[in-house]
Amino acid sequence: MDSDLIHNDSFDPEDAYAAEQVEWLLQWNNHLCMESDVAATALKMQLISVNSLKEKLKLKLDQLGEMLDDEFQTLKAKLEETQNKIHLLIDRDLELRRTVEQLTHDLQFVTLQKDQLTIERDGMVLKLEEQESSYKGMVAKQDQQIRSMQVIISESQHEICQKEALRRQLLVDLEGQEQVHLQQMEAQRQSLVENNEDSITCSICWVTWDADGDHRVVSLACGHLFGHSCIRNYLMRSESCPICRQAANVQHIRFIFGRHVLPNQTQ
């Protein structure tokens, strides 16, 4: 409160009470002014201390800011590193996913193939079973055929034995017949040798005929043989064969071209 206001002209000095009051108010004012100064000083001191604290805090804040910056840089680097790692991991993950997809695809293909092969195998097994049963049937049939063949073979062997015996008997018979035939042939040969002289002799002149020349061998229609000149002369006088008396003339004369003409034994 300003003291000039208290000593204003409008103030009544006669009012002692009022003066006292004023005095008291002035004292109180002084007291308050003193307290106010003390408080102002204290406030100034506090302000100084607050400023000092503010400086300290600013320093600390700067330090903290630097520390935070450092930590932020470190964390940023770590974050970048982590991000790189994450990218790598994502790449790896993609690669693994692709591999898994490829493997899944392959597995599906293989499974499909396996199913197809299983179906084929089952079909083949069925076919093989059918073939086996038909083969067994064939084997049974063949066994039956073999048994019947063995029966036929044993019968055939029996027949062969019988035929062999018959053949031996026939051989014995043939040998006997051959012996007889040989004896007959020998007799014939003997007879031929004996008759040989007559068989090559002209029955007109009793001289052996020739292979060519005037007395060459000829035959008549009856087949009887003579020397050419002899039968020609004979047929000038007679009209029949001098041996069998069949009718004959010179027209019937035929040349014989065999060098060794022998008559049949039965004639």
Chain residues in the site for Zn ion (CB under 5 A): 202, 204-205, 222, 224, 227, 230, 241, 243-244
Q: Which is nearer to Zn ion, 33 or 200 (CB)?
A: 200
Q: Which is nearer to Zn ion, 29 or 199 (CB)?
A: 199
Q: Which is nearer to Zn ion, 202 or 235 (CB)?
A: 202
Smallest distance, Å, CB 218 to Zn ion?
Answer: 10
Using Cβ positions, the residue closest to Zn ion within the complex turns out to be: 241
Q: Which is nearer to Zn ion, 33 or 252 (CB)?
A: 252
Q: Report strand pairing: 225-227 vs 254-255.
A: unpaired
Smallest distance, Å, CB 193 to Zn ion?
Answer: 23
Smallest distance, Å, CB 188 to Zn ion?
Answer: 23
Q: Which is nearer to Zn ion, 22 or 205 (CB)?
A: 205
Smallest distance, Å, CB 221 to Zn ion?
Answer: 8
Smallest distance, Å, CB 191 to Zn ion?
Answer: 22
